[in-house]
Structure 1
């Protein structure tokens, strides 16, 4: 599937951005321009079922959405050989499934949902219910977000197909920690990440990933602490 994309900058280096569940390219409203200022042409996708991209085909959520389908869409849409690729949460899971074919020079996985099916307290029905989340709920859950990020969250929820969550869990066998990085890779973690615990972080280091934690940041690191997010990428961008 060809995905909707949004671009910032005209630099000689190429960066790819892949958002998390319930979101779309607008989540990168500060990251895209910041990378463009550093000499990148930045391409951000809307994953299938998100933003302006097509919905999946099929009678059941598991036929329309799943990690392998998300990854194949990246391959169908994005150029190979970029200097940098960043995936957040579901975007980290999706990038992992495509990285061996996209072959960026460097990959950054921001609090990746590699083991979403095992995360304590995470249920696809919660995502479906949050489709109708209010400004007050979003603000209470994300007290460090700027008002513009609340606006973006409301807009991206309205454009999101909640079957993506159900489809992911229907294909949960596609989740798990990677055995090794396909390209030089940074795993950037929220403080006390609920997706990658200390044991998993140690395993990833042993397997060849660099792992950094952004102190005090929540799951959506780039919106919770933009400056901390960018500082954590030192040496990778």
Structure 2
């Protein structure tokens, strides 16, 4: 499966961006703009079942990870940095673990590194359908006070293009654990649902650089953009 990609900027370095569940390549609009202004080439992908990318009722985490690697191969892209948020971070870990992709500097933003799998497909699809329906501009304004107006518009549009069947296939498929390699960077909200203190300590012990942003939302760059940029000189100060 080849994924839809959006590119911006020109430069010696290439940063690849992988969004979270229900998002899209546009979710990174503020990050993309800053990097392009700083002379970095940016490639943001719509993950399977999101945005303008294909859908699949048989998708698994390894399949989705392979689609990231295949797309970048087809585009002849060798990333300097790859950033994955949430579900995108899980795919980044899965892709790097299998050796299908050399991500350059791998950055994980408040990402889970395991999925239980085996969910009831019908039930989880209904949950994703309800989540998609709830992510309207008005609801986002009310429930995400850290979102700006453009953030609300972008995320509502992304949700409208999100495919619950693809997401349900992934949730119903086999689970697994894919951990960041030593030398990777994890940026987490503090507190974090996905990277709690025990997980952060274990990652640090394994050679992963864990950086915390107190009070940040799960989409860290939406709520704490300046702190997010400051936490990642490897990405923004190239």
Q: Which TM-score band (shorter chain)?
A: 0.7 to 0.9
RMSD: 1.9
Per-residue CA distance 1:182-211 (angstroms, 9 max, x = gap): 6x3100101211011110110000111100
Name stretches of at least 5 consecutive residues in structure 1 with no aligned partner: none
Match of 1:144 in 2: 146
Equivalent residue for 2:171?
Answer: 169
| Cross-structure match for 2:110 | 111
Change over 3 Å in CA distance of 1:136–1:219 after alignment to 2: same
Tell me how far apart the structure 1 counterparts of residues 116 and 148 of structure 2 sit (CA, whole Å): 30
TM-score, scaled to structure 2: 0.87
Partner of 1:82: 79
Q: In the alignment, which residue of structure 2 is the partner of 1:155? A: 157
In the alignment, which residue of structure 2 is the partner of 1:8? 8
Distance, in Å, in 2 between the alignment partners of 1:138 and 1:94 is 26
2:211 maps to what in 1?
212
* Contact 1:116 1:195 survives alignment (8 Å): no
The Cα shift of 1:223 comes to 1.3
Give 1:131's aligned residue: 132
Report what 1:91 is aligned to.
88
CA pair 164-228 structure 1, distance change in 2 beyond 3 A: farther
CA distance in 2 between partners of 1:141 and 1:148 (Å): 15
Whole-angstrom CA distance in 1 between matches of 2:70 and 2:178: 24
Separation in 2 of the partners of 1:172 and 1:163?
16
Supply the distance in 1 between the matched residues of 2:104 and 2:175 (Cα, whole angstroms). 28
The residue aligned with 2:39 is 39
The CA distance in 1 between the partners of 2:78 and 2:5, in whole Å, is 17
| Counterpart for residue 120 of structure 2 | none
1:140 Cα shift? 2.8
Once superposed, which parts of structure 1, at least 4 consecutive aligned residues long, lie more than 2 Å away? 115-118, 123-128, 134-137, 234-237
User: 1:230 aligns to what?
Assistant: 229
Number of residues of Structure 1 aligned to a counterpart in Structure 2: 224
**Distance of 1:91 and 1:15 partners within structure 2:** 14
Separation in 1 of the partners of 2:37 and 2:145?
28
